[in-house]
């Protein structure tokens, strides 16, 4: 047997801590591409003697990675045949063209797409639709860099041409046709005041539209396990730290996160609509001006025209929609916990969500994109042309973000290193001051800290760093580890205050129509609402779904193993439990 040397064990922990801090630094500063940083454990863990390569490398291709890959491939097929655009335009046609309703339609559509597509892809797809609607409502919009200079130019234009130009940071032109310019007449001060209010209203509505889309994408991604990377990192690290934990799967997560997403989406819509004028609390009975009525009619025509450009529904779109529904239903019904799922028909432990997802997406690579004709088999003169499948491998290669797969693998490798080296236990031994914190308070504090941290760092990197700490803290507090790990995971997606917080925020900000202060003042209350709603969810329906009221047996096994690792180092053990 190998003799026990506490100093050697601490040295092992120190090496692992060094690697994690180095990767955290690279992830936060992006000194290297995120995916390249994720590959460092393959080299450094083996060179420093933390983990052998035959334990590190398999972490990059766990079944969780394949579940995520199946979601990405399904999203590629949806985008290939423009099914997402048809769904978006159809929803907008149903909700109406009043600003508050349009913002709600944008948020509902974006959040639904973000449940299955990446948050970035959902935002990038919806913003052009939003811009087209806004231009039909309000005309073109130009950005001014100098406010004072713009005001002077506006006044000079008013005096010289008898035209009114908006003296705001964003300038709207109601029309670009020359014939409209010749019909302008000198306006009274009251008319100018009314038009100024109208243009300020338009500016606010434009901002409300653009800011609602990335927020809805971030919120919607939390509703499914495949919606965003942190959710899958939680699933993977649970399997690493607590192999016996089987309460988190696609169905149970959906039952918990989907109601939370809907409530948060509704609250966010109300806040954005009130803040940016979509809902006027003091003017419910105010009659619409003719300008607004005409603008809404134009927007309705733009949406209808864009929808008609898609043409009749193709066979490929119908097939993709069918397989998408089968994909979602099979994932949800595999093991919903409250009733036996279809996985119970097979040997226990053999069927996972990854098997379900990969099975469906494989069909996409050979199912025909055009309706097959049975007469072809009996027509000897029929041409022997190759049938195009719903998705080609070349298209999948081009559209699937493979770097995210490596990023997930890097997180799983880091978690494995923490576990094998004893670093997670060492961290748990340093959490004595937090043992007296009530668990509900701990949930709020954890969510606030992680939501603030992820404003400046990648949400994937943030959850990779924090999850091992949260797991050990939960064992210290003698609460179900999911009670702390789930709020930490979802809190990573609640980054609303800065353009650099998430790629969707950056995409919306790059349009040039938003300012940092717009995101800061809107996102501050969004963050606060997210923290409070998440705390409410964890202390109500989540307790029933994940059995959070008791300290589970699978966590007890981990605690006993952790205690047996360091019998000679008193402050590192969990013997106090």
Q: Compute the distance between CA of residue 495 and CA of residue 456 in angstroms, rounded to an integer.
A: 9
Residue 143 has pLDDT above 50, yes or no: no
pLDDT, mean of residues 147-175: 37
Q: Compute the distance between CA of residue 506 and CA of residue 498 in angstroms, rounded to an integer.
A: 8
The torsion of the CA quartet 536, 539, 544, 547, rounded to 10 degrees, works out to 140
Query: 2-11, 170-179, 431-440, 541-550: which has the minimum mean pLDDT?
Result: 170-179
Mean pLDDT of the chain: 78
Per-residue pLDDT band at 191 (split at 50, 70, 90): low
Predicted pLDDT of residue 195: 66
CB atoms within 10 A of CB 270: 15
**Which H helix or E strand runs over 10?**
helix 6-29
Convert the pLDDT of each residue in 289-342 to its tens digit.
Answer: 666 677 677 778 888 888 888 889 899 999 999 998 998 888 888 887 777 888
Per-residue pLDDT band at 171 (split at 50, 70, 90): very low
Tell me the two tokens of residue 65: 């990675």
Calculate ∠ Cα 363-368-371, nearest 5°: 135
User: Could you tell me which of 536, 451, 525 has the C-alpha nearest to residue 270?
Assistant: 525
Query: 8-17, 250-259, 323-332: which has the minimum mean pLDDT?
Result: 8-17
Residue 165 has pLDDT above 60, yes or no: no
Length reported for the chain: 577
pLDDT, mean of residues 389-407: 88
Q: Which of 160-164, 192-196, 226-230 has the highest mean pLDDT?
A: 226-230
Residue 99 has pLDDT above 60, yes or no: yes
Predicted pLDDT of residue 9: 45
More confident site: 511 or 256: 256
Sign of CA dihedral 362, 366, 372, 377: negative
Predicted pLDDT of residue 287: 55
Tell me the two tokens of residue 536: 């409410």
Tell me the two tokens of residue 352: 């996972």
Q: Compute the distance between CA of residue 271 and CA of residue 269 in angstroms, rounded to an integer.
A: 5
Does residue 550 come out as left (phi exceeding 0), alpha (psi in the -120 to 50 range) or beta? Answer: beta
Distances (CA, A) of 537 to 115, 528, 546: 19, 14, 12
Q: Compute the distance between CA of residue 537 and CA of residue 37 in angstroms, rounded to an integer.
A: 35
Predicted pLDDT of residue 292: 65
CB 399, CB 543: distance < 8 Å: no
Convert the pLDDT of each residue in 551-561 to its tens digit.
Answer: 888 887 665 55
552's CB contacts (< 8 A; 6+ apart) are: 245, 247, 480
Predicted pLDDT of residue 111: 93
Q: Compute the distance between CA of residue 469 and CA of residue 23 in angstroms, rounded to an integer.
A: 16
Residue 152 has pLDDT above 60, yes or no: no
Q: Compute the distance between CA of residue 89 and CA of residue 112 in angstroms, rounded to an integer.
A: 13
CB atoms within 10 A of CB 368: 13
Residue that the structure tokens 């001006």 belong to: 289
User: Could you tell me which of 319, 352, 262, 289 has the C-alpha nearest to residue 74?
Assistant: 319
Q: Compute the distance between CA of residue 433 and CA of residue 439 in angstroms, rounded to an integer.
A: 14
- Provide the CA 68 distance to its chain's centre, in angstroms: 13
Buried b (16+ CB within 10 A) or exposed e, 171-199: bbebeeeeeeeeeeeeeeeeeeeebeebb
247's CB contacts (< 8 A; 6+ apart) are: 337, 482, 545, 546, 547, 552
Tell me the two tokens of residue 355: 């098997």
Work out whether strand 170-172 and strand 141-143 pair parallel, antiparallel, or are unpaired. Answer: antiparallel
Largest CA distance in the chain: 97
Convert the pLDDT of each residue in 513-565 to its tens digit.
Answer: 788 888 889 999 999 999 999 999 999 999 999 988 888 888 876 655 555 44
Alpha helix positions (H), 282-314: 290-309
């Amino acid at each position: 047997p190998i003799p026990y040397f506490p100093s050697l064990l601490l040295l092992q922990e120190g090496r692992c801590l060094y690697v994690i801090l180095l990767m955290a630094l690279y992830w936060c500063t992006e000194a290297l591409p995120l995916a390249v940083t994720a590959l460092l454990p393959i080299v450094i863990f083996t060179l420093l003697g933390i983990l052998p390569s035959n334990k590190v490398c398999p972490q990059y291709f766990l079944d969780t990675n394949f579940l995520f890959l199946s979601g990405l491939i399904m999203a590629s097929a949806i985008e290939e045949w423009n099914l997402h655009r048809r769904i978006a335009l159809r929803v907008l046609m149903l909700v109406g063209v009043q600003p508050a309703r349009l913002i709600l339609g944008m948020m509902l559509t974006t959040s639904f797409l973000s449940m299955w597509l990446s948050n970035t892809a959902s935002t990038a797809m919806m913003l052009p639709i939003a811009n087209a609607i806004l231009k039909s409502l309000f005309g073109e919009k130009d950005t001014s860099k100098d406010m004072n200079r713009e005001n002077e130019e506006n006044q000079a234009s008013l005096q010289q041409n008898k035209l009114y130009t908006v003296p705001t940071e964003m300038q709207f032109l109601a029309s670009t046709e020359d014939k409209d310019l010749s019909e302008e007449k000198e306006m009274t001060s009251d008319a100018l005041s009314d038009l100024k209010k109208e243009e300020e209203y338009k500016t606010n509505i434009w901002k409300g539209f653009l800011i609602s889309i990335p927020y809805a994408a971030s919120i919607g991604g939390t509703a499914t396990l495949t919606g965003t990377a942190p959710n899958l990192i939680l699933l993977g690290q649970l399997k690493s730290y607590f192999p016996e934990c089987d309460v988190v799967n696609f169905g149970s997560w959906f039952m918990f996160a989907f109601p939370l997403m809907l409530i948060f989406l509704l609250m966010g819509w109300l806040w954005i609509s009130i803040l940016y004028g979509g809902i006027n609390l003091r003017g419910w009975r105010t009659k619409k001006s003719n300008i607004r009525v005409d603008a809404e009619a134009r927007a309705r025509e733009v949406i209808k025209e864009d929808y008609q450009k898609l043409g009749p529904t193709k066979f490929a779109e119908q097939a993709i929609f069918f397989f998408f529904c089968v994909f979602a239903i099979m994932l949800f019904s595999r093991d919903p916990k409250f009733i036996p799922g279809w996985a119970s028909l097979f040997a226990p432990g053999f069927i996972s969500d990854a098997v379900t997802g990969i099975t469906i997406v494989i069909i996409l690579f050979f199912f025909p994109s055009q309706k097959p004709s049975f007469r072809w088999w009996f027509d000897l003169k029929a041409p022997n042309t190759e049938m195009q499948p719903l998705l080609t491998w070349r298209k999948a290669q081009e559209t699937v973000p493979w770097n995210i797969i490596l990023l997930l693998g890097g997180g799983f490798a880091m978690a494995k290193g923490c576990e094998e080296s004893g670093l997670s236990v060492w961290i748990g031994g340093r959490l004595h001051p937090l043992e007296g914190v009530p668990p509900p308070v701990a949930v709020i504090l954890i969510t606030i800290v992680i939501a603030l941290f992820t404003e400046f760092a990648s949400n994937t990197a943030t959850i990779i760093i924090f999850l091992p700490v949260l797991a050990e803290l939960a064992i210290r507090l003698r609460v179900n580890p999911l009670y702390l790990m789930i709020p930490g995971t979802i809190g990573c997606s609640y980054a609303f205050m800065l353009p650099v917080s998430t790629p969707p925020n950056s995409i919306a900000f790059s349009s040039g129509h938003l300012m940092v202060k717009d995101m800061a003042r809107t996102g501050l209350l969004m963050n606060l609402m997210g923290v409070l709603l998440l705390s409410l969810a964890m202390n109500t329906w989540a307790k029933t779904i994940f059995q959070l009221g008791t300290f589970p047996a699978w966590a007890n096994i981990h605690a006993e193993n952790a205690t047996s690792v360091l019998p000679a180092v008193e402050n590192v053990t969990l013997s106090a439990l």
